[in-house]
Amino acid sequence: MLQLESQIASLEASGEVAEPNTWISRFIVYKPSGKQYVYYRLMRAVRDKEGKLKRKFVRYLGKKNSTEHEQMKKAIARRNKIQQLQRQLKRLMAQGQPQPKRRSKGASTLNSPLTTDDRLLLVQLQQQLTELTGRFEQLEQLVKGGQNLSGESSNYRPRS
């Protein structure tokens, strides 16, 4: 799980990440002379008042392979990879946690089980605690093994 989290963090740090529900759309301008010009724009899906999905223009990206077009293709690829890793992480977390019992209809939600975000934080905390306990045990062994019979300590210096 830590590996997935570090991959997500490195992807987020590597550059712009596209917003969810956005995509690149192309449009063609036909001139009276018969020429066609292809341009690209960033679009987003939004819901109107009735709840229907509508396309909304976000930003003009220019011609194919322009710098803005290429950067947005990379940003969308990063977003898609991050979403894939997040789904894997949620699946792993769900496998490691017992399934909550289903409530009957009308049951109170005040004492509901942990949310997915709470579980993620709990798993991270448990992993960090396990790691710290292991490091503490290693340190204890080094301190015990670093002293010779006369009580002098070895040249061991902890990392700072």
Map out the domains of the chain as residue ranges. Answer: 1-94, 116-145
At 110, the pLDDT band (50, 70, 90 cuts) reads very low
pLDDT tens string 37-87 = 999 999 999 988 998 989 999 999 999 989 999 999 999 999 999 999 999
State residue 137's pLDDT score: 78
Alpha carbon distance, N-terminus to C-terminus of the chain: 27
Q: 112 exposed, middle or buried (CB, 10 Å; 0-12, 13-18, 19+)?
A: exposed
Q: Model pTM?
A: 0.56
Can you read off the two tokens belonging to residue 28?
Answer: 């063609």
Nearest to 60 by CA among 37, 85, 40: 40
Span of 29-33, 60-64, 109-113, 128-132 with lowest mean pLDDT: 109-113
Can you read off the two tokens belonging to residue 35?
Answer: 């020429």
